[in-house]
Structure 1
Amino acid sequence: MSGHSKWHNIQKTKGAADAKRSQLFTKIAREMIVAVKQGGSGDPANNSRLATVIAKAKAANMPNDNIKRTIDKALGAGNSDNFESVVYEGYGPNGVAVIVEALTDNRQRTAPEVRHLLDKYGKGLGATGCVSWSFDQKGVIVIEREDLDEDTMMMDALDCGADDMQVEEEVFTVYTAPDAFGDVLAQLEEKGYAFLEASVQMVPQNYVKLTDETDIKNMEKLIDLLEENDDVQNVYHNWDQD
């Protein structure tokens, strides 16, 4: 089974954001609130989007108490949080494709901030659809290799309904169809697997190498500053960092 070294990219580009655990939990909580409101239920069994966010929260080691409080808050009559999903597409240095997913209560604040960063460190903001055509939406489940047997892991992933698996030095990365993500995750969890990351992501179909040191530094800065923005939930790109 094949695929690009996605976890390698995650390690390099998300390490700083993951270190800021409180900010990470805040972003996941915002996503959870939106999932509850849009799905009309605080029960993940009846709300697939919420189930996906809970899986992401657990993989990030978000405490169960935090998850429960967030769901209760979203269900509360006095909750006035009103976030909307916005996706921005643009280009980093040397034409690297960038997708920015945001949850915001003020587009007039978020859009200029994202545009400014893409203009300063990349090639600018593009029109809707300008780069998303070169990405596929997939469920991504990252499992630490440790002493796990590769053949057993591959068989279990396929038996649970996965589409593909990438074998890397430190991890196994399991890919699923977006609609199958929740079921595959639940079945792998039942088999005793623990997850380093679990979420539905935009996975590039192809990658762009950067060789110029200035381009590399600008791309790193662009990703870091986008991920530090409170409104930005996810940043996807096709920069090949291997």
Structure 2
Amino acid sequence: MDQSPERVAVVLGGSGGIGSAVARRLAAQGMAVVVHYAGSASRAHEVVEQITAGGGAAVAVPGDVADPGEMAGLFDTAEERFGGVDVVVNTAGIMLLAPLAEMDLDDFDRMHRVNVRGTFVVSQLAARRLRAGGSLINFSTSVTRIQQPDYAAYAATKGAVEAMTLILARELRGRDITVNAVAPGPTATPLFLDGKSEQAVRQLAAAAPLERLGAPDDIAETVAFLAGPGRWVNGQVLFANGGIA
């Protein structure tokens, strides 16, 4: 086992736009980081290289967030390499859009498997294996407030994420573990920008009082607060959206 750092973070979806920013930000706080990926090994290893080039400690680990065996293996790797797990951030998710009346049920089931079952599997492992003083941070969406057309199926999965997150915070009474969800607004990531026209992006950027899209680093700062100094924030959904809702 490597020499144990003071704190260890597991970032699910760590190769994505927000996940990679979160991984780098937590590494900047001095945490060793397990960068999880499902589809892009090259992006995950790039994040690891960026962290290690800055003097940090990181490792890339693949896995299906909805598979409890693979996720248990990921937690095992974190414990074997770095000595334990203190922070779990679950940014992993997929977004497939269509009006509710036209949504393909296979697409709905795919989102449910990753966004709901995946969050449940990761949250269950975090509840069992986080050390005292730890934090679990799941991801919702500001669409649960904005109620934007075409997002019904996606928002439904994130409503489930909010429910399990808030209940788990109460179930971990006495463990000194915080459980929260971050709900980003429109954020300039490939997941968000894919398939949107320039006009649609401009309209969404103008909707917030700050008149811009969020950046992955904006969301990473919110996560860093919850994973670090924000110990009195617990059982909450924190909307990070520039005031859009």
TM-score in terms of structure 2 length: 0.24
Structure that is richer in strand per residue = 1
TM-score using structure 1 length: 0.24
Larger RCO: 1 or 2 (CA < 8 Å, sep 6+):
1
